[in-house]
Amino acid sequence: MNLDTIFYEAQQAFLTYKNLSATKKADFLEKIAELLEANRGAIVLMACKESNLPEGRINGELGRTIGQIKLFANLVREGSWVEATIDPADPNRAPLPKADIRRMLTPLGPVVVFGASNFPLAFSTAGGDTISALAAGCPVIYKGHPAHPDTSKFVGQCISQALEKSELPAGVFTHVEGGVKMGQDLVKHPLAKAVGFTGSFSAGKSLFNIAGNREVPIPVYAEMGSVNPIFTFSQRLANELVPLAQSFVSSLTLGAGQFCTNPGLIFVPKSLSDRFSNAISEAITGVSPAPMLHEGIADSYYKALTELQLRSELNWVKVPDAKHLINASPALAEISVQDWLSDDQFQEEVFGSFAMMVVYDSEADLIAVANKLHGQLTVTLWADTPELQAHGELINLLEEKCGRLLFKGVPTGVEVGYAMQHGGPYPSTTDSRSTSVGAYAIKRFARPIAFQDMPQELLPDALQDGNPLGIMRLVNGEFKK
């Protein structure tokens, strides 16, 4: 099928699918989850082979993918996500009678989704972008990632089967394959209404530019990763030095460091930097090099490290092992806060298990860092409560630089729930107003529509008198169920 046909069918499917009842849409999503579960063995085998990720991880990722689908099925079934809002008429208002106005969210139309190489399941074919778009009522045209073509195609077939079993038009989901040109053509297509993307800055930004320069611009939700800085403070660090070093190293090296929330930057007070770097050094020695997703990513990782090894500002706490096949060796370099502040290059992401440890002296150093810091998916603070209370100005500034602020634990391991925010200020994403993980991800693919004086018989269920769906609504400014 050529793209015009694909989009035409998606658009035709949209005109039916957007009006599907919440129950039927939820049933369809659950059908996808069932089919993935039923094919767990085959999917895990394929995804492990294509991603070089271990079975435990892929099994867990499939569980998470299925969990996500169920979250959106529940959200759709419950129904309040449409933000139903009713301002009743007032025929007696002077000088002019007041009309009856009812507003709700309505899906945008066909959405183009690009999968991520580093999550062959949870951020790919039936991942968060696809499922939240389908949940909103948007057909999806999904471009399979060339790093895991078989997994992608197979999961795509599960979605298509779920459509068939649910007696829904095939155009609701289409799996396409291709390279950069295909991706650009998808975003350029006049019938595309939004784009979901997880991947590199260069690819995400280029799609953002294409979408903004269309005759009719469309939104691009691109999650492009970040360095996810951790700020450590002396009191807490002194108390938990070894466990914190260990949990840092394990977050850094998890999945060969191939996570959007991988902590590539850690700020350490000078008074403890030697002890902390020793503890890290000890923890990191035990971590063997692990295979990366593919040759190209391993090459980029080593290329970036080779360039950094030429920089005199860096002292290497852990020099990377020589490149062997597609394995990534963990690596860590120390730098003074003054040197770090002197060059933006030092906050560029190195995709893989490399981090920079920045040694600071004072609160003023950290304020300077916070002011210079690029937008991040996450920022983590390891501090005792009194330390946090003493650093109010810093925290206030850091809030402006991230989508999620952590006070315990590590940034990797993104919970899928209602409150998760996975999206931060540019350049971590192209749209800090959105999240690509968690329930609110559905809102990316909808827009409000208001109906004025629409006869009851024609109103969508969500807006009818008597609230037949039993959803939470804002009526005359008050929440009512």
| Of positions 115, 120, 171, 219, contacts a second copy by CB under 8 A | 219
Q: Does 449 bind a second copy (CB under 8 A)?
A: yes
- Least gap, CB of 74 to a second copy (angstroms): 7
Which stretch in 47-55, 153-161, 226-234, 471-479 sits in contact with a second copy by CB under 8 A? Answer: 471-479
C-alpha distances out from residue 428 to 117, 128, 149, 348, Å: 17, 17, 26, 11
The region of 23-31, 40-48, 158-166, 448-456 touching a second copy under the rule CB under 8 A is 448-456
Could you say whether residue 20 binds a second copy (CB under 8 A)? no
Nearer to a second copy, 214 or 324 (CB): 214
Q: Could you say whether residue 216 binds a second copy (CB under 8 A)?
A: yes
Q: Residue 435 Cβ, how far from a second copy at the closest point, in Å? A: 6
Q: How many CB atoms lie within 10 A of CB 166?
A: 17
Among 239, 306, 362, 385, binds a second copy (CB under 8 A): 385
Of 19, 21, 271, 345, the one binding a second copy (CB under 8 A) is 19
Q: What are 21's two structure tokens? A: 């009842």
Q: Which of 403, 436, 442, 462 binds a second copy (CB under 8 A)?
A: 403
Which listed range, 29-37, 293-301, 337-345, 407-415, lies at the site for a second copy (CB under 8 A)?
Answer: 407-415
SS3 252: helix
Indicate the residue among 294 and 374 with the shorter CB distance to a second copy.
374
Gap between the Cα atoms of 209 and 403, Å rounded: 23
Q: Which two tokens stand for residue 441?
A: 């991800």
108-127 residues near a second copy, rule: CB under 8 A: 108-109
Residues facing residue 269 across a β-bridge: 360
User: Which token pair is 211?
Assistant: 């979408």
CB 35 within 8 A of CB 130: no
- Which amino acid appears at position 240 of this protein? E
Q: Is 274 left (phi over 0), alpha (psi -120 to 50) or beta?
A: alpha
Q: Long-range pairs for 177-180 at CB < 8 Å and ≥24 separation?
A: 177/143, 177/144, 177/146, 177/149, 177/152, 177/153, 178/143, 179/146
The bridge status of strand 230-232 relative to strand 265-269 is: parallel
Closer to a second copy by Cβ: residue 72 or 354: 72
Cα separation, 322 vs 317, whole angstroms: 15
Restricted to residues 321-380, the positions that interact with a second copy (CB under 8 A) are 375
**Least CB distance to a second copy at residue 450 (A):** 4
Considering only residues 415 to 434 of the shown chain, the ones binding a second copy according to CB under 8 A are 415, 417-421, 423, 425-427, 430-433
Nearer to a second copy, 179 or 392 (CB): 392
> Binding to a second copy by residue 55, rule CB under 8 A?
no
Q: What's the one-letter identity of residue 456?
A: Q
Task: Examine residue 45 and tell whether it contacts a second copy (CB under 8 A).
Answer: no
Closer of 66 and 305 to a second copy (Cβ): 66
Where do the H-state alpha helices sit in 126-173?
Answer: 128-136, 149-165
**Looking at the DSSP assignment, which residues form a beta bridge with residue 335?**
358
How many residues appear in the chain? 481
Give least dist CB 330 to a second copy, A. Answer: 22
Check residue 92 for interaction with a second copy (CB under 8 A).
no
64, 236, 318, 404: residue in contact with a second copy (rule CB under 8 A): 404
Whole-number Å distance between alpha carbons of 412 and 392? 25
- Asked if 166 is part of the footprint of a second copy (rule: CB under 8 A), the reply reads no
| Nearer to a second copy (CB atom), residue 37 or residue 78 | 78
